[in-house]
Structure 1
Amino acid sequence: MSSSEVNKNFLRPDYVDKIEYLISGMKYGTITIVVQDGHIVQLEKNEKIRIKAGL
């Protein structure tokens, strides 16, 4: 698989839209992209909620 084929896979508009959706509204956290055989197979969202001391 050439690098251009891999780049096309990762830049699919529906993937970009889904990642933007996962990020929207999230203040702290991570988005993990799981790749298998050069294809995105899973997106994981891990959101953190910060609690101020004394509350």
Structure 2
Amino acid sequence: MNSLNASEREKLLTHLEKMLETLKYGSITLVIQDGKIVLIERNEKVRLQ
């Protein structure tokens, strides 16, 4: 995240916050390549009653 400018960093953090707020069960995975975030994966699990 050090190689991101302030605008890109803010956009990434805002996106991650929104993902975290709406995720009830599951995981968020950051894929790093050469010290940079290249992919964000969201896996959501749905619990049936």
TM-score interval, normalised by the smaller of the two chains: 0.7 to 0.9
Residue identity in the other structure for 1:22: M
Q: Which runs of 5+ in 1 are unaligned?
A: 1-6
Shift in Å, 1:9: 4.0
- TM-score calculated relative to the size of structure 2: 0.74
CA RMSD of aligned residues (A): 1.7
Aligned to 1:24: 21
Name the larger-Rg structure. 1
Structure 1 moving runs of 4+ over 3 Å: none
2:5 aligned with 1:8, yes or no?
A: no
Shift in Å, 1:24: 2.1
Aligned to 2:34: 37
Figure out how many residues of one structure are paired with residues of the other and give that number.
Answer: 45
Report % sequence identity: 40
